[in-house]
């Protein structure tokens, strides 16, 4: 499982990360809320362990942004704040559980397992790429928090690209039963709408297409 641990106490962060890696989890550690939020926009994490008292951006705001973007990964808040109002506020923002410091690592592991058993927020199927979110159940798309209207074929093309998460998708796979010219029409319709929010559809010559964030400028594509 790929985890993001956001904790500004280096000793505690090191202890938690070492424990989780011993359980074969892949752990990324960040100590700043703003940098953590940027990581969450660009990378696919399966679980987030989030301190509240962070520099840059507080933990409450980080979890609020996670849910506003439509990201469904479970979030457990880790904090020294033990007031009932603090716990309720964090849960209402979209956290799946709340663990008060100090705690035993075995309890953290048990709470993570409990969240995963009941599905956590992962029970709501969705795909995301930066500000682009696809709700698979409702077949609804959002871009930067605003609805994005798609035709049936536009949805199919975009879903395949989002599922690839930045990897190139072969033209033949995107083409489906239609002609190559039809695919170009769908791509040309999607491009300007996505580019407005910083999501690019790159052409990989002789192969297909991939999604990128606007700040990326790889070679070999146009």
Pick the CATH number of 2-123 from 3.30.1490.100, 3.30.2420.10, 3.40.50.300, 3.40.50.2300: 3.40.50.2300
- The string of DSSP letters for 172-213 reads HHHHTTS-HHHHHHHHHHHHHHHHTTTEEEEEETTTEEEEEE
Rounded Cα distance between 109 and 186, Å, is 46
Cα 194-56-143 angle, rounded to 5 deg? 15
Rounded Cα distance between 129 and 106, Å, is 33
Domain extent listing, the chain: 2-123, 126-213
Tell me yes or no: is domain 126-213 CATH 3.30.230.10. no
Rounded Cα distance between 121 and 95, Å, is 9
Question: Each residue of 56-108: pLDDT tens digit?
Answer: 899 999 998 888 887 878 999 998 877 778 778 888 888 889 898 888 999 99
Q: Where are the alpha helices (DSSP H) in 71-201?
A: 84-93, 105-117, 152-164, 171-175, 180-195
The pLDDT assigned to 41 comes to 86
Q: Give the number of C-alpha atoms closer than 13 A to the C-alpha of residue 203, restricted to the C-beta side.
A: 8
The pLDDT assigned to 80 comes to 85
Question: Each residue of 146-171: pLDDT tens digit?
Answer: 999 988 888 889 988 998 889 998 88
Rounded Cα distance between 220 and 222, Å, is 7
Closest among 58, 41, 219, 25 to 144, alpha carbons compared: 41
Burial class (CB in 10 A: 0-12, 13-18, 19+), 146: exposed
Could you tell me the pTM of the whole model?
A: 0.55
Do 8 and 53 touch, CB atoms closer than 8 A? yes
Query: pLDDT at residue 218 above 70?
Result: no
Query: pLDDT at residue 119 above 50?
Result: yes
């Amino acid at each position: 499982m790929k985890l993001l641990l956001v904790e500004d106490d280096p000793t505690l962060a090191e202890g938690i990360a070492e424990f989780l890696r011993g359980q074969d989890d892949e752990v990324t550690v960040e100590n700043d809320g703003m940098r953590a939020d940027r990581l969450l926009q660009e990378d696919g994490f399966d679980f987030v362990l989030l301190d509240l008292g962070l520099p840059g951006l507080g933990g409450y705001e980080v979890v609020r942004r996670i849910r506003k973007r439509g990201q469904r990964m479970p979030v457990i808040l880790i904090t020294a704040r033990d007031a009932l109002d603090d716990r309720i506020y964090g849960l209402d923002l979209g956290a799946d559980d709340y663990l008060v410091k100090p705690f035993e690592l075995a309890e953290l592991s048990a709470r993570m397992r409990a969240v995963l058993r009941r599905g956590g927020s992962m029970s709501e199927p969705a795909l995301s790429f930066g500000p682009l979110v696809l709700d698979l159940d409702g077949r609804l798309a959002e871009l930067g928090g605003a609805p994005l209207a798609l035709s049936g074929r536009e949805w199919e093309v975009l879903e395949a690209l989002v599922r690839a998460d930045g990897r190139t998708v072969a033209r033949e796979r995107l083409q489906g039963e239609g002609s190559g010219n039809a695919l170009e029409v769908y791509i040309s319709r999607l491009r300007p709408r996505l580019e407005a929010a910083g999501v690019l559809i790159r052409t990989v010559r002789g192969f297909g297409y991939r999604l990128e964030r606007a700040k990326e400028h790889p070679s070999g594509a146009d």
